[in-house]
């Protein structure tokens, strides 16, 4: 119904009454009455999703040539990334370097950790600049972010892709999906959603003697945005959504994505965003977290990262709750232990292909990546095992992300990630009674942080390989007996994470049954498709339980988290009675 409100203007009074009566009838109808759903909504006013360009088929395309040129330019020298507060650049003696994951002896960028004083200064600036920005009309704010989207899809496209490939180890296909298409989509769709919020159909009812209105103010303070390494677009959206709604941000990018995130700041400046609304402060995580959580003006935290970090922030904020001028809004996405469940009625080739994509694209470093697989015994031995192994061995090429035509996936992000993933592989090798590596399992960090895509079969459905987030190219399969469908669905639902999941089945009665059994097991649920690949405006993204607050980035309602609503009643005629 709220999606309906997003798209339709206020109805005339008689139509309103008819509409209200119809809604009441539907709500109070006998449960046995057949229900015909309303026709699908038209979204003609919504922007089209940014097209994903092909850099492989046509070797002479303009966009491929531009990308190759940017890759060469960015690698030609060490890229300097300053701290930026109120539009002014700062550099400290706490120098850090962003390395190329698939060639870790190469330094891609030099950046600087903000000192405690600079982080405090960023909070001061953000708190001050918000006051004027909030009074800028929504239409003017939206236009700035739409200009930014045009810069992403045009002038900055090749450079953003190149920075994401080199700094975050993404292939061109994965970089194009992320730093070009998804980033542009976030900017355009959020601008559209924000305009719709300002329309009359979100307003309360007025009477003959009173005019009632609902205003969407910014939050009273500053928002702290903390970004991950794995999606350039997520970093952009963590700042875009709050600022669009009248807020200002103190922004901590990931050390391993600092160059691409800095480019986002540059294009926002070029689009006309006033200085001081996004303050770019690479910094030590503990220093940043302690400072923002102790600041009485903290109005919100927009976070994507690890569960332990978000839990720590939540605890710190809870300990300081009496200090704040308002209760801070906490929005977080913390990863998952995402599943694919294969039913005996599944189309096997689809299940194989989509499982490989979900598990091994970007070396399993997507929050939504599939890392646990459940297959019935009747399909495993006869079909799925051999097909998975054959395609993994013959179609997944591991190599530098800059090899546009051959590399399927590249190195993992850094030495810490490499060591963590390797420890799980070592564990699997050391527990042969329960776990068997079917293919993969090797690692090499001589040049880059390379981990072979790995398939493990476990006999224990509650083994740590099936319950803990690994965040790497490791897929563990549990083969269940065909008459144990319900107990296996219950196993899936036990997991403390609930981000994404997929079922593969052609039996519609099972699909309905599984949707009920797995209702709380995922925030994004897929039927006959992979657990990854949510598209802005099509599949709003987020999960609950230990996966986060499920505030659905890429959908309209995420923006409401960054508003401080004000109800205004204005009486027309004098009131003299007592």
CA 305 to CA 312: how far, in whole Å?
Answer: 12
Q: Which helix (H) or strand (E) holds 390?
A: helix 385-395
CB burial class (10 A; 0-12, 13-18, 19+) of residue 557? middle
Contact between 217 and 563 (Cβ < 8 Å): yes
For residues 512 and 397, membership in a common domain is answered with yes
For residues 533 and 559, membership in a common domain is answered with no
Please enumerate in sequence order all residues whose Cβ is within 8 A of that of 574, keeping only pairs 6 or more positions apart, or say none: none
In a domain, 54, yes or no: no
DSSP bridge pairs for 54: none
In a domain, 351, yes or no: yes
Q: How far is CA 23 from CA 9, 28, 68, in A?
A: 17, 9, 56
At 301 the three-state DSSP class reads: strand
For residues 429 and 328, membership in a common domain is answered with no
In 137-284, where does DSSP find H-type helix? 138-153, 157-168, 172-175, 183-197, 232-244, 258-271
Assess whether 333 carries a catalytic annotation.
yes
**In which residue are the tokens 């119904």 written?**
1
What pLDDT sits at residue 2? 39
CA 504 to CA 357: how far, in whole Å?
Answer: 14
In a domain, 138, yes or no: yes
- For residue 119, give the CATH number of its domain: 3.40.605.10
- For residue 66, give the nearest of 155, 168, 165 by alpha carbon: 155
What pLDDT sits at residue 44? 60
Q: Which two tokens stand for residue 29?
A: 């109808």
Contact between 126 and 248 (Cβ < 8 Å): yes
CA 464 to CA 455: how far, in whole Å?
Answer: 15
pLDDT by residue for the chain (578 residues), tens only, comes to 334 434 443 333 444 445 445 444 444 444 334 444 544 445 567 899 999 999 999 999 999 999 999 999 999 999 999 999 999 999 999 999 999 999 999 999 999 999 999 999 999 999 999 999 999 999 999 999 999 999 999 999 999 999 999 999 999 999 999 999 999 999 999 999 999 887 767 889 999 999 999 999 999 999 999 999 999 999 999 999 999 999 999 999 999 999 999 999 999 999 999 999 999 999 999 999 999 999 999 999 999 999 999 999 999 999 999 999 999 999 999 999 999 999 999 999 999 999 999 999 999 999 999 999 999 999 999 899 999 999 999 999 999 999 999 999 999 999 999 999 999 999 999 999 999 999 999 999 999 999 999 999 999 999 999 999 999 999 999 999 999 999 999 999 999 999 999 999 999 999 999 999 999 999 999 999 999 999 999 999 999 999 999 999 999 999 999 999 999 999 999 999 99
> How open is the CA angle 471-473-477, to the nearest 5 degrees?
95
Tell me the backbone φ, ψ of residue 269, rounded to 5 degrees: -60, -45
DSSP bridge pairs for 498: 544
For residues 330 and 290, membership in a common domain is answered with yes
For residues 390 and 364, membership in a common domain is answered with yes
The residue count of the chain comes to 578
For residues 142 and 248, membership in a common domain is answered with yes
What pLDDT sits at residue 20? 45
What pLDDT sits at residue 27? 40
In a domain, 34, yes or no: no
Helix and strand numbers (H, E) in the chain are 19, 23
In a domain, 576, yes or no: no
In 221-306, where does DSSP find H-type helix? 232-244, 258-271, 285-294
CA 307 to CA 549: how far, in whole Å?
Answer: 11
CA 449 to CA 411: how far, in whole Å?
Answer: 5
CA 323 to CA 20: how far, in whole Å?
Answer: 44
For residues 188 and 300, membership in a common domain is answered with yes
Report the number of distinct structural domains present in the chain: 2
For residues 536 and 396, membership in a common domain is answered with yes
Contact between 523 and 330 (Cβ < 8 Å): no
The DSSP bridge pattern shows strands 544-545 and 83-85 to be unpaired
Looking at 50, 134, 176, 333, which residue is catalytic? 333
For residues 400 and 535, membership in a common domain is answered with yes
What is the Rg, in whole angstroms, of the alpha carbon atoms belonging to the chain? 25
- For residue 448, give the CATH number of its domain: 3.40.309.10
Torsion of CA 543, 548, 552, 557, to 10 degrees: 130
Q: What is the 3-state secondary structure (H, E, C) of 473-498?
A: CEEEEEEECCCCHHHHHHHHHHCCEE
For residues 132 and 261, membership in a common domain is answered with yes
In a domain, 71, yes or no: yes
What one-character DSSP code corresponds to residue 202? G
For residues 262 and 356, membership in a common domain is answered with no
CA 199 to CA 45: how far, in whole Å?
Answer: 13
**In which residue are the tokens 């003299």 written?**
576
What pLDDT sits at residue 43? 58
CA 293 to CA 313: how far, in whole Å?
Answer: 7
For residues 440 and 469, membership in a common domain is answered with yes
Burial 125-140 (b: 16+ CB within 10 A, else e): bbbebbeebbeeebee
Contact between 453 and 398 (Cβ < 8 Å): yes
Please enumerate in sequence order all residues whose Cβ is within 8 A of that of 551, keeping only pairs 6 or more positions apart, or say none: 331, 542, 557, 558, 561
At 312 the three-state DSSP class reads: helix
State the residue range of the domain holding 471: 339-541
Residue ranges of E strands in 293-449: 298-304, 329-333, 338-342, 370-376, 435-439, 443-444
What pLDDT sits at residue 31? 38
Composition of the chain by helix, strand, coil, percent to 5: 45, 20, 35
């Amino acid at each position: 119904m709220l999606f309906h409100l997003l798209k339709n203007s206020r109805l005339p009074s008689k139509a309103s009454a008819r509409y209200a009566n119809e809604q009441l009838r539907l709500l109070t109808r006998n449960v046995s009455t057949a229900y015909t759903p309303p026709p699908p909504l038209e979204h003609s006013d919504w922007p089209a999703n940014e097209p994903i360009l092909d850099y492989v088929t046509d070797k002479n395309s303009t966009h491929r040539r531009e990308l190759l040129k940017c890759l060469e330019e960015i690698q030609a020298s060490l890229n300097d990334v300053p701290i930026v507060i109120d539009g002014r650049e700062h550099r400290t003696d706490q120098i850090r370097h962003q390395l190329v994951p698939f060639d870790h002896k190469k330094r891609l960028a030099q950046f600087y950790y903000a000192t405690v004083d600079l982080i405090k200064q960023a909070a001061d600036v953000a708190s001050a600049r918000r006051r004027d920005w909030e009074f800028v009309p929504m239409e003017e704010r939206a236009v700035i972010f739409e200009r930014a989207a045009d810069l992403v899809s045009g002038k900055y496209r090749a450079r953003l892709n190149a920075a994401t490939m080199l700094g975050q180890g993404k292939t061109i296909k994965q970089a194009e999906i992320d730093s070009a298409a998804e980033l542009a989509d976030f900017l355009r769709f959020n601008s559209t959603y924000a305009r719709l919020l300002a329309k009359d159909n979100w307003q309360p009812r007025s009477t003959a003697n009173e005019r009632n209105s609902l205003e969407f103010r910014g939050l009273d303070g500053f928002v702290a945005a903390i970004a991950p390494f794995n999606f350039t677009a997520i970093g952009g959206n963590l700042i875009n959504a709050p600022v669009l709604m009248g807020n200002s941000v103190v922004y901590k990018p990931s050390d391993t994505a600092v160059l691409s995130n800095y480019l986002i700041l540059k294009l926002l400046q070029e689009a006309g965003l006033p200085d001081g609304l996004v303050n770019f402060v690479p910094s030590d995580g503990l220093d940043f977290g302690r400072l923002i959580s102790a600041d009485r003006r903290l109005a919100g935290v927009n976070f994507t990262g690890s569960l332990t970090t978000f839990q720590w922030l939540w605890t710190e904020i809870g300990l300081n709750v009496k200090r704040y001028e308002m209760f801070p809004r906490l929005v977080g996405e913390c990863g998952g232990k995402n599943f694919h469940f294969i039913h005996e009625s599944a189309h096997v080739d689809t299940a194989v292909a989509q499982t490989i994509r979900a598990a091994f694209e970007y070396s399993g470093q997507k929050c939504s990546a599939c890392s646990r697989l459940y297959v019935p015994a009747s399909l495993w031995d006869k079909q799925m095992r051999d097909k998975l192994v054959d395609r993994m061995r013959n179609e997944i090429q591991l190599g530098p992300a800059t090899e546009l035509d051959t590399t399927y996936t590249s190195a993992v992000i850094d030495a810490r990630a490499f060591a963590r993933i390797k420890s799980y592989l070592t564990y699997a090798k050391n527990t042969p009674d329960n776990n068997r590596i079917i293919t993969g399992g090797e690692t090499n960090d001589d040049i880059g942080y390379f981990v072979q895509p790995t398939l493990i079969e476990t006999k224990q459905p509650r083994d740590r390989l099936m319950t803990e987030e690994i965040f790497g190219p490791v897929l563990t399969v549990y083969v269940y007996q065909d008459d144990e469908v319900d107990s296996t669905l219950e196993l899936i639902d036990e997991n403390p994470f609930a981000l994404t999941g997929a079922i593969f089945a052609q039996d519609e009665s099972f699909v309905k049954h599984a949707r009920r059994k797995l209702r709380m097991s995922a925030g994004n649920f897929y039927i006959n498709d992979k657990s990854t690949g949510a598209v802005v405006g099509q599949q709003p993204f987020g999960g609950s339980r230990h996966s986060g607050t499920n505030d659905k980035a890429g959908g309209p309602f995420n923006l409401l988290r960054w508003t401080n609503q004000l109800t205004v009643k204005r009486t027309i005629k004098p009131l003299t009675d007592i």
